[in-house]
Amino acid sequence: MDLLEYQGKQLFTRRGVPVPQGRHAASVEEAVQAADEIGYPCVVKAQVQIGGRGKAGGIKVAQNREEARAHAEAILGLDIRGLTVRELWIEEASEIAVEYYASVVFDRSAKAPLLMLSTQGGMDIEAVADEDPDAIAGLHVDPLLGFQDFHGRRLAFEAGIDEDVVRPVGAMLAKLYEVFVAEEATLVEVNPLIVTPDRQVKALDAKVTLDDNALFRHAENAELRDLSNEDPQERMAKERGLTYVKLDGDIGILANGAGLSMSTLDLVAEAGGSPANFLDAGGGSKAEAITSAVEVILSNPKVKAVLFNIFGGITRCDEVARGLIEAFNQIGAGGKSIPFVVRLDGTNGEEGRALLADANLPNVFIESTMDGAAEKVVELAKQAEAAPA
C-alpha cells in the first residue's frame, strides 16, 4: 500500500523523523484555516500518489491568506495524470541550502534492507542511478542486527555530504530505518532531504510503501488507504476479498491461481486481444466467489467479452461449473449479451464441461484448451466491437 505524502510524514513524526510543520485540508476553507495556523509563507501541496506534482501545478507557495485561498481553489479538483486532487497538505515554507536523497528499500534480491544516500537530491533517483551510479552510496543492513551508528557514518562519508551534517543525517537514517522496520514498510524514501541555511536537517517529502500482508498488526495504518482515488472495480473487488487489478482492455478475465491468471492475460494479448483485468479466483473457487467475480468483471463498462480459464487441481471443475451456472442464474449475466468463453480442464474437467453444456447458458462458449479459449474470446471481442452498439 502506497501512502500519500502527509500520511508518510505522520508516520515520520510518530518515529521522530524531523519534518516541516503541516496541516491536512480537504476543502478550501480548511486550507485557509490551516494556512493561518501555520503562518506565511506556506506551501499548498496536492496529495496524490504520483510524481511530478510540482510541474503539474500541484505545489504552490502562498505569501498570504488570499494566495492560500487562490492556490487551494486551483489545486483541489485538479487532474494530475489521471488522478483527481481531493486532499491538500499545508506546510510551513522551508528555506533550502542543500538537497540530498535518502531511502530504505526492501531488497528482495539480497534479502536485506538496502540503505541509500546521495547528494543528488530532488532528482529522479532512477535517472541518477542510470547516469551516475557512483553518486548513490548504498549498503545492506543485516536484518538480524539492525541499524548501527556506523552504517550512518559510512554512508554519509561515502556519499560525500557536507561534514557538518554527517551526525544529524546519520541520526535521520537511523530513524528512517526504525520507520521501515516498526511500520513494516517495503520502501521509505525522502527526496529531498534538506539542510536549511541554519543547518537543520528535515524530510521535505515522504514516500512510504507499507506491506499489505503486515497490515493485520498495524490497525492504524490499515485505515490510511487513499479511497478517494481508488478505482471503483478495484474497491468493489477488495470489499469482496478478490484479487483484482484493472487494466485498459476490453476482455474480462477470471482464472484460478496467480501464475495461471497472469499467463491467461499474456495468452489473450498474444492472440491479439487486450485484457480488461487480472482476477485470481483463488484455489477454492466456490459458487459465491465466482458470482462475486462475475459481478466485478461486468461492472467495468469496457468489457465486451469474458474469458474463464480454470485448471482444476484440488479444485474440481464440476464445482466450478456449478458455481458458474448459479452465478448466471443469480445475476442474469447472459442477459447482458456479453459472451463468455469458459475453459475447464484438469480434475473432473469432462464432468464440468458436460454440466455447462446441459445448462445451455445463453452466450456461453465452452473450450477445453487454454490456447483455443484465448483465440475464441479475442474473436468474440472483435465481433462485439464491430457490431453496432
Site residues (CB under 8 A) for other proteins, limited to 359-388:
369-371
Residue 346 sits in the site that holds other proteins (CB under 8 A):
yes
Element (H, E) at 189: strand 185-195
Among 7, 47, 120, 261, indicate the residue that binds other proteins (CB under 8 A).
261
Helix (H, G, I), strand (E, B) or coil at 135: helix
Rounded to an integer, what distance in angstroms lies between the CA atom of residue 200 and that of residue 373? 62
Q: Which is nearer to other proteins, 181 or 287 (CB)?
A: 181
CB closer to other proteins, 74 vs 245:
245
User: Strand pairing of 201-203 and 243-246?
Assistant: unpaired
199, 104, 49, 39: CA torsion to nearest 10: -20
Interatomic CA distance for residues 121 and 160, integer angstroms: 13
Shortest distance, position 374 Cβ to other proteins, whole Å: 9
Regarding 263 and contact with other proteins (CB under 8 A), the answer is yes
Minimum CB distance to other proteins smaller for 265 or for 380: 265
Rounded CA separation 117/147 (Å)? 14
Binding mask 144-163 for other proteins (x = CB under 8 A): x-------------------
Return the range that interacts with other proteins (CB under 8 A); candidates 30-38, 305-313, 322-330, 359-367: 305-313
- Give the C-alpha distances (Å, rounded to integers) separating 276 from 29, 145, 372, 387: 40, 45, 19, 19
88-117 positions binding other proteins, by CB under 8 A = 106, 108-109, 111-113
Residue 101 among the catalytic residues: yes
| Options 91, 189, 319, 367, the catalytic residue | 189
Comparison of 68 and 317: residue with beta carbon closer to other proteins: 317
Q: At what angle do helices 166-182 and 5-14 cross, to 10 degrees?
A: 100
Contact present, 297 and 290 (Cβ < 8 Å):
no
Reading the block at residue 130, the C-alpha cell is 542510470
Query: Candidates 24-32, 194-202, 249-257, 360-368 — which segment interacts with other proteins by CB under 8 A?
Result: 249-257
Question: Which of these, 341, 328, 269, lies nearest to 293 by C-alpha position?
Answer: 328
Q: Using CB under 8 A, which residues numbered 28 to 87 contact other proteins?
A: none
SS3 42: strand
Which residues within the stretch 189-218 sit at the binding site for other proteins (CB under 8 A)? 211-214, 216-217
If the CB atoms of residues 32 and 102 are measured against other proteins, the closer one turns out to be 102
3-state class (DSSP) for residue 378: helix
Shortest distance (Å) from residue 363 CB to other proteins:
25
Is residue 189 part of the annotated active site? The answer reads: yes
Q: How far is the CB of 282 from other proteins (least distance, A)?
A: 9
Evaluate whether 338 touches 254 at the Cβ level (below 8 Å).
Answer: no
Q: Is the bond leading into 275 cis (omega within 30 degrees of zero)?
A: no
The 3-state secondary structure of 82-117 reads CEECCCEEEEECCCCCEEEEEEEEEECCCCEEEEEE
The only residue of 16, 51, 54, 143 in contact with other proteins, by rule CB under 8 A: 143
Which residues of the shown chain bind other proteins in the complex (CB under 8 A)?
A: 106, 108-109, 111-113, 126, 142-144, 181, 184, 186, 211-214, 216-217, 243, 245, 247, 255-263, 265-270, 275, 278, 280, 283, 311-314, 345-347, 369-371
- The residues annotated with a catalytic role in the active site are 101, 189
